[in-house]
């Protein structure tokens, strides 16, 4: 499944409600004028093709700024270890260790690891903690939104077992 969410008035209302600085909703643009896109992937476990799918998604040819947010329930999820290895791989490819554990106050059991892969690509692994009031997948999606960059003009929700064509982001944003 794939859901595309255009953030404008809903994002503005959320940022005002949460006390954050208000975003213009226009988002960051690349030098080519492509808006920033956030891809949120709620993940549970590692399936046969998971790692290959994740590499394919990260190899997008989209020219604008793109942020990939992988969200797991806990550090005990087998996907957590594989995603940490994925971040370490991209850190070594980027030539510098630029990841950090966020020090912001978050609910118990949550954390995040972020890696700036290139000037236009960011990779984030977030631990959402256990869901209390909704399904775990929905809880992970909401966690992905909460850690996403406010400058992002679009948020795509993507199942972690989907293989995306490298031009998918470009076609979705331009349609």
Give the pLDDT confidence of 21-46 residue by residue, as tens digits: 344 444 555 556 788 999 999 999 99
- Mean pLDDT along residues 123-145: 93
pLDDT digits (tens, 9 = 90+) for 73-97: 999 999 999 999 988 888 776 544 3
Residue 41 near residue 160, CB atoms below 8 Å: yes
Strands 154-158 and 37-42 come out as: parallel
Q: Measured between alpha carbons, how far apart are the two ends of the chain, in Å?
A: 18
According to the model, what pLDDT value does residue 48 have? 87
Beta bridge partners of 71: 42, 126
């Amino acid at each position: 499944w794939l859901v595309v969410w255009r953030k404008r008035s809903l994002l503005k209302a959320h940022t005002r409600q949460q006390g954050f600085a208000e975003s213009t909703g226009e988002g960051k643009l690349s030098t080519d004028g492509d808006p920033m896109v956030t891809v949120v992937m709620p993940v549970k476990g590692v399936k046969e093709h998971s790692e290959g799918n994740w590499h394919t998604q990260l190899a997008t040819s989209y020219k604008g700024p793109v942020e990939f947010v992988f969200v797991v329930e806990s550090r005990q999820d087998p996907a957590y270890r594989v995603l940490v290895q994925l971040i370490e791989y991209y850190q070594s490819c980027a030539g510098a260790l630029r990841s950090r554990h966020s020090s912001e106050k978050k609910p118990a059991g949550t954390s995040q690891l972020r890696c700036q892969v290139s000037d236009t690509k960011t990779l984030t692994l977030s631990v959402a903690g256990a869901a209390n009031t909704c399904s775990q997948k929905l809880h992970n999606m909401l966690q992905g939104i909460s850690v996403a960059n406010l400058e992002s003009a679009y948020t795509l929700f993507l199942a972690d077992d989907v293989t995306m064509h490298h031009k998918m982001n470009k076609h979705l944003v331009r349609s």
